[in-house]
Amino acid sequence: MKLNGSEIVIECLKEQGVDTVFGYPGGTILNVYDALYKHGSEINHILTSHEQGAAHAADGYARATGKVGVCMATSGPGATNLVTGIATAYMDSIPMVAITANVAVPLLGRDSFQEIDITGVTMPITKHNYIVKDITKLADTIREAFRIAQEGRPGPVLVDITKDVTAAETEYVKEEPIPVERSTQYIKEKDLEQAIELINESEKPFVFVGGGAVISGASKELMEFVKKIDAPVADSLMGKGAFDGTDELYMGMLGMHGTKASNLGVTKCDLLITVGSRFSDRVIGNASRFAKNAKILQIDVDPAEINKNIQVDCSIIGDLKEVLTRLNQRIEKHEHKEWIKEIETISEEHPLKYNEEGLTGPYVIEQIYKVTEGNAIITTDVGQHQMWAAQYYRYKDPRTFLSSGGLGTMGYGVGAAIGAKVGRPDKVVLNIAGDGCFRMNMNEIATAARYNIPIIQVVINNHVLGMVRQWQTLFYGKRYSQTILNDGVDFVKVAEALGAEGIRVTKKEEVAPAVEKAIALGKPVVLDCVIDCDDKVFPMVPAGAPIEDTFDQDDLNKEA
């Protein structure tokens, strides 16, 4: 049948099983929105307050569901407002398709009103991107975009469509999506054999879990693998929930704000098995000193990540779920009782701890964990509150901790929480943010209120840019340059003005009742939790130092 370009866009979205789109209309994309209006009962559209919110919502939807997130924007500033959200998804390997419109083909390259070369702008932050200037290529381009977004190492793909293409007509034939196969073509028998040999020889193995374990859906296989080789486990920010955070072998996060048990465990081990991680600088610290006593086995779907940041002794390239399945079939059961005891002793001697006098960020997180029984989806912004949410909430399942890891995007959380709640309406969804982060995209609370999306926004309000202030305190002689936010902003009033419920919390005994009330209300709620401006995240490793140089407040007190 003959359809115009805008109708083809909608039909292709339906082909791909898309049920929700996050976006903001404008002049060049009006034809697409007109077609969307006619299909409102088939595709739900969430009008965000800002295009960046739409990109973060699509990202949160994708992380929470495992499906492709979709966002839309018009040309010019609409498209460029998506850029930070696209980059956030790119850095964390999140499948997303961003659809933008551009000026008509005859107007391209003429500095036309709201014209921007968005494919040029986003080339470094997408897996692939397109500008469609021929109506006959539109359907196949959108189909290919969804395939690329999902295959191998996932990521965002942008499709820019000129306005005349959205109006032109051509024949459309419905196609069923081709299933995306797991990447197995690079899994080599010799690599599997070498990995098994290293595992058999190891007396002190340690498993480090990254975001690839979440993406591949390998939690079951990972648990079987860990139990077979009898090794302690650490994770990255992106890997949280892939391995059960309540399991006795779990030792906590690794890296700059990782636990001493994990950081020292990796330093002491003789074999580090890294699954689905790219060895971020925040994880490895000083690369020349990282896992200095160990051989390193890296399993990753992306060949480009092998030997990029850390030289490894053995690697297996392929989908993690498939690789672990093959290893589990061939690995014999091991026991490392003395090694496990050694790491457990470090964990017992150096537990996570915080000042228990007065209201603190860790206390708020612990109370949220208790009230939700560890079953909520937690999104975060970036900073101290992000680290506390990673340290003090125990993630039992994958896709329950959503955070900007690679790009470190302040303002990510509210949009991501909206996307997560839309994608997983059965789950309680809370966004943990500092007051600095919340200011950046708090306008999206209006979006949640408009659609009555019952997210809970928890503001860890210390009236400063907490993580930056922490660095200024420790490394910059307490010169607090532009990090104090002690002004007249009232987040409870802001929440009410945006159509949500606002609750202020200033005492420890108020936290749990406030969280319980927020869940029971069934509407968007902002909890303004006021803490001290000098609370810090510990443990900590100075930038560029080896991870065994981790310190906490007790260590600072001893030096003083």
CATH class of the region 361-538: alpha beta
Q: Is the peptide bond before 539 cis (omega within 30 degrees of 0)?
A: yes
524-553, pLDDT tens digit by residue?
A: 999 999 999 999 999 999 989 999 999 999
pLDDT of residue 91: 98
Task: Centre a 10 Å sphere on the Cβ of residue 472 and count the other Cβ atoms it contains.
Answer: 18
Closest CA to 506 of 535, 528, 474: 528
CA 556 vs CA 109, 126, 233, 541, 559: distances in Å: 59, 43, 28, 12, 5
Distance between CA atoms of 272 and 311, rounded to whole angstroms? 12
Task: For residues 399 and 462, give the distance between their C-alpha atoms in angstroms, rounded to a whole number.
Answer: 28
64-119 pLDDT, tens digit each: 999 999 999 999 999 999 999 999 999 999 999 999 999 999 999 999 999 999 99
* CB contact at 8 A, 401 and 365: no
The model's pLDDT over 313-326, given as tens digits with 9 standing for 90+, comes to 999 999 999 999 99
As a whole number, mean pLDDT of residues 206-235 equals 98
Instruction: Name, in order, each residue with C-beta under 8 angstroms of 409's C-beta and a sequence gap of 6 or more.
Output: 56, 84, 85, 87, 88, 381, 382
Instruction: Round to whole Å and give the CA distance between 388 and 537.
Output: 7
Which strand (E) or helix (H) includes residue 119?
helix 118-122
Q: What is the predicted pLDDT for the residue at 70?
A: 99
Nearest-angstrom CA–CA distance, 103 and 108: 6
Spell out the domain ranges in the chain. Answer: 2-171, 189-349, 361-538
Q: So which residues are the catalytic ones?
A: 51, 113-114, 163, 467
Q: What is the mean pLDDT of residues 52-59?
A: 98
| Cα–Cα–Cα angle for 22, 372, 89, rounded to 5 degrees | 30
Tell me the average pLDDT of the chain.
97
345-394 confidence digits (pLDDT tens): 999 999 999 999 999 999 999 999 999 999 999 999 999 999 999 999 99
Class for domain 2-171, per CATH?
alpha beta
Residue 558's pLDDT band (boundaries 50, 70, 90)?
A: confident
- The crossing angle, in degrees rounded to 10, of helices 361-372 and 384-392 is 40
Radius of gyration of the chain (CA): 24
pLDDT at 151: 97
Q: Do domains 2-171 and 189-349 have the same CATH topology?
A: yes
Neighbours of 120 (CB within 10 A): 10
Q: Tens of pLDDT along 186-198?
A: 999 999 999 999 9
pLDDT of residue 291: 97
| pLDDT confidence band for 559 (50 / 70 / 90) | confident
pLDDT at 122 exceeding the cut of 90? yes
CB atoms under 10 Å from CB of 203, counted, come to: 11
Q: Residues 150-157: what's their mean pLDDT?
A: 98
What is the model's pTM?
0.97
Q: C-alpha angle 403/407/409, rounded to 5°?
A: 60
Q: Is the pLDDT of residue 560 over 80?
A: no
Closest to 438 in 3D by CA, of 498, 390, 373, 398: 498
Rounded Cα–Cα distance for residues 551 and 370 (Å)? 28
User: Which of 89, 127, 16 minimizes the C-alpha distance to 415?
Assistant: 89
pLDDT, average across residues 498-506? 98
**What span, in angstroms and rounded, lies between the C-alpha atoms of 88 and 83?**
9
Rounded to the nearest 10 degrees, how much is the dihedral formed by the CA atoms of 254, 395, 210, 378? Answer: -100
Question: What DSSP designation does 74 have?
Answer: -
Residues 6+ apart with CB under 8 A from 91: 404, 405, 406, 407
- In whole angstroms, how far apart are CA 162 and each of 70, 147, 172? 18, 22, 18
Mapping DSSP onto H, E and C, the string for 244-277 reads CCCCCCEEEECCCCCCHHHHHHHHHCCEEEEECC
- Beta-ladder partners of 497: none
Distance CA 389, CA 399 (A): 14
Give the span between the Cα atoms of 392 and 88, in whole angstroms: 24
Q: What is the mean pLDDT of residues 26-52?
A: 97
How far CA 14 is from CA of 1, 2, 156, 486, 559, in Å, comes to 16, 17, 19, 48, 63
Residue 52: what pLDDT?
98
Which helix or strand (DSSP H or E) is residue 10 part of? helix 5-15
Is the confidence at residue 217, as pLDDT, over 80? yes
Residue 134 has a pLDDT of 98
Please tell me the number of Cα atoms within 13 Å of 215 on its side-chain side.
Answer: 29
DSSP one-letter code for 417: H
Mean pLDDT of 42-50: 98
For the chain, the farthest-separated pair of C-alpha atoms sits apart, in whole angstroms, at 78
Q: Is 523:452 a contact under the CB 8 Å cutoff?
A: yes
Q: Are 403 and 377 in contact (CB under 8 A)?
A: no
Q: Which residue has the tokens 């929105």?
A: 33
**pLDDT score recorded for residue 130:** 98
Question: Does residue 428 carry a pLDDT above 90?
Answer: yes
Beta-bridged to residue 464, according to DSSP, are: 484
As its CATH architecture, domain 189-349 has 3-Layer(aba) Sandwich (3.40)
DSSP conformational letter for 459: E
Q: How far is residue 3 CA from its own chain's centroid?
A: 37
For the segment 266-319, what is each residue's pLDDT rounded down to a tens digit?
999 999 999 999 999 999 999 999 999 999 999 999 999 999 999 999 999 999
